[in-house]
Amino acid sequence: MGLLRLIQKFKLRYGSQETVIKTLREMGVQVGERCRIYTANFGSEPWLIRIGNHVCISNDVTFVNHNLTWPFQDKYESLTAFGKIEIRDNCQIGVNVTILPNVVIGPNSIVGAGSVVTKDVPPNTVVAGNPARFICTIEEYEQKCLARHIDIPNDPQEARRILERHFWGEDKAETRK
């Protein structure tokens, strides 16, 4: 790995969000506005990746822009199999997701943690698994989130107190202090 690639990896892993986005754009990734990106795994062809507006990409997401052709190299010396990856507007990609080439993740979609995305994700859906498959619509997921919502304050200590009481009960929260 060359020095430039090492510096880029360092910036992607430890830089501010502003630095991450600037570095990705320098690498050739097309990145929209208001994105949060927490991974450094953009493969060897980052210029084949397009990320829309208001997209959150969690830790350890891996982008793979090529298929496996090694077994055919003796037969076809220059055989290649590259593919683009596109994540459209208002999506969230969970922790440790792998996105394979020739995939479009439709707008307003969520890919659950640990998923392997092998084909296009339709708009307004939640997918998860290996391979990633339909779980529910984004509207159904929104209702699930609203049903589980816990109103917590901005103060971290008060938020902890409320969450401990909610999940551990009055007695358990007091004994953990």
pLDDT in single tens digits along all 177 residues of the chain: 689 888 998 999 999 999 999 999 999 999 999 999 999 999 889 999 999 999 999 999 999 999 888 889 889 888 888 999 999 999 999 999 999 999 999 999 999 999 999 999 999 999 999 999 999 999 999 999 999 999 999 999 999 999 999 999 975 545 555
Classify burial at 110, counting beta carbons within 10 Å of its beta carbon; exposed 0-12, middle 13-18, buried 19 or more: buried
Q: Which two tokens stand for residue 170?
A: 């009055």
pTM of the model: 0.88
- pLDDT tens for 76-116 read 888 888 999 999 999 999 999 999 999 999 999 999 999 99
Q: Which of 54, 66, 149, 166 is the catalytic position? A: 66
Q: What is the pLDDT of residue 92?
A: 98
β-bridge mates for residue 31, sequence order = 51
Q: What is the pLDDT of residue 69?
A: 86
Residues in the chain: 177
In this structure, what are the phi and psi dihedrals at residue 116, rounded to the nearest 5 degrees?
Answer: -120, 115
Q: Could you say which DSSP state residue 47 is in?
A: G
Contact 56, 87 (CB under 8 A): no
Q: Could you say which DSSP state residue 107 is in?
A: T
Domain architecture of the chain: domains with CATH:
3-137 (2.160.10.10)
The percent helix, strand, coil of the chain (3-state, each to 5) is 35, 20, 45
Active site residue 66: yes
The set of residues, in sequence order, having a beta carbon less than 8 Å from that of 9 and lying 6+ positions away, is 1, 40
Instruction: Give which of 164, 144, 134 is closest to 152, Cα–Cα.
Output: 164
